[in-house]
Amino acid sequence: MFEDRPDRQEVVLVGRSNVGKSTLMRELTGHSKFTTGKKPGVTRKPNHYDWAPESFMFTDLPGFGFMSGVEESRSEQIATDIVRYVEANADDILAGVLVVDGKSVVDIIDRHSGPDEIPHDVELFHFLRELEIPTVVAVNKMDKVDDEDERLDDLCDRLGLLPPWRQWQDTIAPISAKRGNVEPLLSALKTHFHDQKRDDLLKFVS
């Protein structure tokens, strides 16, 4: 289980390894301390970036799923720790941001869909919503996607949201963190902060 969590409300970033969570974290906080790299699984424990006066933090949780060079038992333990962390702190999570790779997420979901298998991304999306955590899917790397509307409609379909995706702009946020294009995510977070009477945090997503 992850230890040493500061006593704050938070926005958590969750997702598979190598989808760009740490790059997004850097973009959201304006801070360069978050390690990024081409090798999956760089983040092995939560990275908190907090503002004590506002009792608020962004948290980048470790990536889940297959990681090159990481034993399967270790990656499964990380996934379990992520679930436990979110469950234990659900009351203090203002929003859960599920980060996915816009270019590959639909294919990955389809590859892992079957009678006895629920894809991790779909499972995590519904897990956050079942805990009544406002959930935003940050669809990253959209600069590499040609058929944006079609791809996002397909993703909505896989997540159980009725397309078209544009009716879900508080839930589906197409971004390109590496290029600094995260406005759709910021807009969704503004809505969720306002709904939870935390307008004092709007300055962090403006």
Task: Indicate the domain borders of the chain.
Answer: 9-198
Instruction: Pick the closest to residue 125 from 171, 84, 170 (CA basis).
Output: 171
Is domain 9-198 annotated with CATH 3.30.470.20?
no
How is residue 194 written in tokens? 């306002």
Nearest-angstrom CA–CA distance, 80 and 74: 10
* 47, 59 contact by CB (below 8 A): yes
Phi and psi at residue 115, in whole multiples of 5°? -60, -35
pTM above 0.75, yes or no: yes
Exposure of 157 by Cβ count < 10 A (0-12 exposed, 13-18 middle, 19+ buried)?
middle
User: How do the pLDDT tens digits run along the chain, 206 residues long?
Assistant: 566 788 999 999 999 988 999 899 999 998 765 444 444 444 468 999 999 999 999 999 998 875 555 667 777 888 889 999 999 999 999 999 999 999 999 999 999 888 888 888 999 999 999 999 999 999 999 999 999 999 999 999 999 999 999 999 999 999 999 999 999 999 999 999 999 999 999 999 98
